[in-house]
Amino acid sequence: MKPLASDRPFQLLLAVVLAVAALLAVSMVTPLGISAYLANAIGQLAAFAVLALALDLIWGYLGILSLGHGLFFGIGGYIVAMHLLKHSSEVTGRVPDFMQFMGWSSYPFYWAGLGFFPYALLVAAVVTILISGVFGYVSFRSRVDGVYFAIITQALVYVAMLLMFRNDTGFGGNNGMTGFLVLFGWPIGGSGVVIAMAVVSVLLLAAVLLGCRLLLGSNFGVLMIATRDDEVRLRTLGYETLRLKLAVWCLSALIAALAGMLYVPQVGIINPRLLSPELSLEIAVWVAIGGRGHLIGAVIGAMLVNALKFWLSAAAPELWPFILSGLIVLVVLVFPNGLVDLAKLKLTRPMGIKRLASEPELR
């Protein structure tokens, strides 16, 4: 991996992200600039980009494909939603919908204290680490990997979705949670608050991006890539990869949870669909389209696919699924390393596409 100082593409991306954040921050105080609607869309895209980074870390740099990252995204989302509901009802006195139709008069015990944000943050971190840690430890210890790991994680997120659909679990069932009114004492719909959330999301995206980059540039990053490329050899050399894999897995889960915490306040709803296996698969699609094994690729992929989705779902609803499937097939067949390959295309002009297709992909 190139040293950070000479990694021009990465610098450029980081600069763009920071510029957007700055622009958003300016729009917050002046009426000019980015509208609340656009800011919200950018904020959501940033949350998706963080999610894609989480997956890229584990898939692109460690070679473990998780089709269950929606689970951690969901954990973050649910806990922040619980916080928002609790906080909103503490301020406005409105009882959440799900408690009304379940006929409950008091919160289930695990809702206690979530109105206090730092505590909610702590809970989110602890739950994420607990679940990812236990699952990761058992799986990696019994050397479940590759396709099997993908299937099992997919089943795991599916189980979580089925559980969340149940109304008696106290998480709002199929309706999930909506009606967040107050964020840190501010009314959540105000355009200032909307843009502020977008600023925070974009800034956190920049932070995660930089953090991942620094991690990958360190010795630890070298070990990760070594594990990805030949785990058996690494183990033969006497390095225990279990702890490394577990650490990266938990870190990736934490980043995904963070993305969930950014996403939910901006869309104003969470429900079990966030845990559907299709969404988790889509995360892999974003990363694959952008280019796995490249932090830039993950960000570009997530932003591009979701921006297209936002736009086309309204503008050309019939075409969107065909475009998405076409894009995936194109990437899979022609650009094995995603759209990042487009950058290489310039260097090897005449034979470009053919060369790319025959180029071995990261395993």
Report the site for another protein in 304-343 (rule: CB under 8 A). Answer: 310-311, 313-315, 317-318, 320-322, 324-326, 328-329, 332-333, 336
> Which residue lies nearer to another protein by CB, 79 or 99?
99
Footprint on residues 58-87 left by another protein (CB under 8 A): 59, 65
> Which residue lies nearer to another protein by CB, 220 or 310?
310
Q: How far is the CB of 196 from another protein (least distance, A)?
A: 15
Is 186 a binding residue for another protein by CB under 8 A? The answer is no
Q: How many residues interact with another protein (rule CB under 8 A)?
A: 90
Stretch that binds another protein, among 7-15, 46-54, 125-133, 231-239 (CB under 8 A): 7-15
Site string for another protein, 129-168 (x = CB under 8 A): ---------xx--xxx-xxx-xxx-xxx-xx--xx-xxx-
The phi, psi pair for 182, rounded to 5°, reads -130, 135
For residues 118 and 79, the answer to whether their CB atoms sit within 8 Å is no
Q: How far is the CB of 14 from another protein (least distance, A)?
A: 8
The phi, psi pair for 264, rounded to 5°, reads -60, -45
Residue count of the chain, please give it.
363
> Which residue lies nearer to another protein by CB, 125 or 279?
279
Q: Single out the residue of 285, 295, 299, 302 in contact with another protein (rule: CB under 8 A).
A: 285
In the chain, what are the helix, strand and coil shares in percent, each to the nearest 5?
Answer: 75, 0, 25
Per-residue HEC secondary structure of 221-234 comes to HHHHHHHHHCHHHH
Which residues, including other chains, have CB under 8 Å from residue 201's CB and lie 6 or more apart?
Answer: 42, 43, 44, 46, 47, 50, 262, 266
Give, in degrees to the nearest 5, the angle at Cα 57 between 332 and 212.
130
> Which segments of 237-347 does DSSP mark as H helices, in order?
241-267, 277-290, 295-315, 320-334, 341-345
**Residue 349 DSSP code:** T
For residues 246 and 136, the answer to whether their CB atoms sit within 8 Å is yes
> Which residue lies nearer to another protein by CB, 107 or 149?
149
> Which residue lies nearer to another protein by CB, 35 or 352?
35
Is 180 a binding residue for another protein by CB under 8 A? The answer is yes
Is 189 a binding residue for another protein by CB under 8 A? The answer is yes
**Residue 67 DSSP code:** S
**Residue 301 DSSP code:** H
Footprint on residues 214-273 left by another protein (CB under 8 A): 267-269, 271, 273
Quick check: helix, strand or coil at residue 270? strand
Q: Single out the residue of 18, 242, 304, 308 in contact with another protein (rule: CB under 8 A).
A: 18
Q: How far is the CB of 215 from another protein (least distance, A)?
A: 18
What is the spatial distance between Cα 186 and Cα 257, in angstroms, rounded to a whole number? 23
What six digits make up the tokens of 268?
């104003």
Footprint on residues 20-59 left by another protein (CB under 8 A): 20, 22-23, 34-38, 40-41, 44, 59
Q: How far is the CB of 119 from another protein (least distance, A)?
A: 25
> Which residue lies nearer to another protein by CB, 16 or 112?
16
> Which residue lies nearer to another protein by CB, 112 or 357?
357
Q: Per DSSP, what are the bridge partners of residue 186?
A: 183
> Which residue lies nearer to another protein by CB, 112 or 155?
155
Is 1 a binding residue for another protein by CB under 8 A? The answer is no
What is the spatial distance between Cα 126 and Cα 130, in angstroms, rounded to a whole number? 6
Stretch that binds another protein, among 48-56, 171-179, 231-239, 293-301 (CB under 8 A): 171-179
Q: How far is the CB of 350 from another protein (least distance, A)?
A: 22
What is the spatial distance between Cα 284 and Cα 290, in angstroms, rounded to a whole number? 10
> Which residue lies nearer to another protein by CB, 247 or 332?
332
For residue 119, the one-letter residue type is Y
